[in-house]
Amino acid sequence: MDANHKALLRNAISRLVQLTDQDWELLVSHLTYRQLKRGEYWIAEGKKEQQIGFVINGNLRHYYTHDGEEKTTYFYFENHLISSYFSALTGQPSKLTIEALTDCQLIAFPYKVLVSLYDNSHSWERFGRKLAEYLALGLEERMAGLLILTPEERYLHLLQENKKKIIERIPQHLIANYLGITPVSLSRIRRRVSGKK
């Protein structure tokens, strides 16, 4: 395990909670280095493997499959944690798939290690709370966007400064999927908002 990679993870965690060196040591021996080739899965639908991943670089998408159609709910970039959170929390098989869109480097650790950290340390328990709160805020925003905004408005939101990463780094047909529309419709929306005849 590259020390720089570990430092990236520790730094990301410290944005949520201050860990003592002692707290950090509880986790560090369980970390493993992983690589995914483009197109490989971090977790596939129906599986129960409950590893948490931390993205060092690369990007991934998180999607559900329904009636043979894939519906993308999230994209992940470097410095983010990934997991089938629903599956880890409930112990049920994953209903979603996390797929590498590019080659990825990750750090992994088992969800059950995180649970044991919750038991052993108030600081880690706090990390768990902050992580779940962070997720809930993100989900609330995504949910409200789907309910309140039209597909066109959702597309315009992606153009705003803080969201540019998706527009810049994700192919358009996957952006359409994320917006809940077909690539054909996104193409028309783009023409509409560009003002061109």
Contacting residues toward its own copies, per CB under 8 A: 64, 66, 71, 73, 85-86, 89-90, 118, 122, 125-126, 128-129, 132-133, 135-137, 139-140, 142-144, 146-149, 180
Beta bridge partners of 98: 43, 62
Partner from DNA, its own copies, none binding residue 185, C-beta < 5-8 Å depending on class: DNA
Nearest CB to its own copies, comparing residues 135 and 167: 135
H-only helix segments in the chain: 3-14, 21-28, 85-90, 111-120, 122-148, 151-158, 164-169, 172-179, 183-194
Nearest CB to its own copies, comparing residues 103 and 153: 153
Least distance in angstroms from the C-beta of 65 to DNA: 15
CA gap 51, 84 in Å, rounded: 8
Least distance in angstroms from the C-beta of 144 to DNA: 16
Applying CB under 7 A, the site for DNA has a residue count of 18
Q: Name the token pair of 137.
A: 């805020």
- Name the 3-class secondary structure at 194: helix
Nearest CB to its own copies, comparing residues 41 and 64: 64
Least distance in angstroms from the C-beta of 90 to its own copies: 7
x/- contact string, 137-176, with DNA (CB under 7 A)? -------------xxx------------------xxx---
CA gap 26, 21 in Å, rounded: 9
Is-contact 62 82, C-beta < 8 A?
Answer: yes
Partner from its own copies, DNA, none binding residue 151, C-beta < 5-8 Å depending on class: DNA
CA gap 194, 145 in Å, rounded: 22
Is-contact 107 1, C-beta < 8 A?
Answer: yes
Among 79, 182, 193, 195, binds DNA (CB under 7 A): 182
Q: Which residues bind DNA (CB under 7 A)?
A: 150-152, 171-173, 180-191
